[in-house]
Structure 1
Amino acid sequence: MPDLTFQIDSAGIVPFAAVPMIAFRLQIKNRVPDEAIHTVALRCQIQIEVTRRRYTPGEQEQMLDLFGRPDRWSQTLRSLLWTHVNWVIPTFAGSETVVDMQVPCSFDFNVAATKYFAGLSDGDIPLLFLFSGNVFYAPPDSPLQVAPISWEQEARYKFPVRVWREMMDIYYPNSVWINLHKDVFMRLYRYKMQHGLLNWEQALERMLAEEVEVNW
Structure 2
Amino acid sequence: MSGMEFSVLDVVAEPYTVAPQLTARLRIEDGAGERIHAVVLRCQVRIEPQRRHYDAAERDGLLGLFGERERWSDTLRPFLWMQCNTTVQGFTGATEIDLPLPCTYDFDVIGSRYLHALRDGTVPLTLLFSGTVFTKGSAGFGVRQVPWDCEARYDLPVAVWRRMIASHFPNSGWIRLDQDVLDQIADFRARRGLISWDETVRMLLADVGEVVT
TM norm structure 1: 0.90
Across the aligned residues of Structure 1 and Structure 2, the Cα RMSD in angstroms comes to 1.7
Superposition deviation, residue 199 in structure 1: 2.5
Equivalent-residue separation in structure 2 for 1:66 and 1:211 (angstroms): 24
Query: Structure 1: any 5+ residue segments left out of the alignment?
Result: none
Equivalent-residue separation in structure 2 for 1:149 and 1:97 (angstroms): 15
The one-character-per-residue Cα deviations of 1:23-82 (angstroms, maximum 9, x if unpaired) are: 01111111133x221110011111111111111111111110000000111111111111
Equivalent position of 1:61 in the other structure: 60
Equivalent position of 1:104 in the other structure: 102
Tell me, yes or no, if structure 1 residue 21 matches structure 2 residue 32.
no
Equivalent-residue separation in structure 2 for 1:202 and 1:77 (angstroms): 36
Equivalent position of 1:175 in the other structure: 172
Equivalent position of 1:36 in the other structure: 35
Superposition deviation, residue 114 in structure 1: 0.6
Equivalent position of 1:208 in the other structure: 205
Equivalent position of 1:154 in the other structure: 151
Equivalent position of 1:143 in the other structure: 140
Query: Structure 2: any 5+ residue segments left out of the alignment?
Result: none
Equivalent position of 1:6 in the other structure: 6
Equivalent position of 1:47 in the other structure: 46
Equivalent-residue separation in structure 2 for 1:60 and 1:202 (angstroms): 28
Q: What code does the residue aligned with 2:125 have? A: L
SS for the counterpart of 1:73 is helix
Superposition deviation, residue 193 in structure 1: 2.2
Superposition deviation, residue 142 in structure 1: 5.8
Equivalent position of 1:199 in the other structure: 196
Equivalent position of 1:133 in the other structure: 131
Equivalent-residue separation in structure 2 for 1:199 and 1:136 (angstroms): 55
Equivalent-residue separation in structure 1 for 2:140 and 2:83 (angstroms): 32
Superposition deviation, residue 15 in structure 1: 1.9
The one-character-per-residue Cα deviations of 1:127-172 (angstroms, maximum 9, x if unpaired) are: 1111111000125x76221101110111111111110011111110
Equivalent-residue separation in structure 1 for 2:79 and 2:196 (angstroms): 35
Equivalent position of 1:116 in the other structure: 114
SS for the counterpart of 1:205 is helix
Equivalent-residue separation in structure 1 for 2:206 and 2:48 (angstroms): 40
Q: What code does the residue aligned with 2:171 have? A: N
Superposition deviation, residue 210 in structure 1: 4.1
Equivalent position of 1:165 in the other structure: 162
Aligned residues: 209
Equivalent-residue separation in structure 2 for 1:16 and 1:188 (angstroms): 33
Equivalent-residue separation in structure 2 for 1:13 and 1:51 (angstroms): 24
SS for the counterpart of 2:187 is helix
SS for the counterpart of 2:182 is helix
TM norm structure 2: 0.92
SS for the counterpart of 1:146 is strand
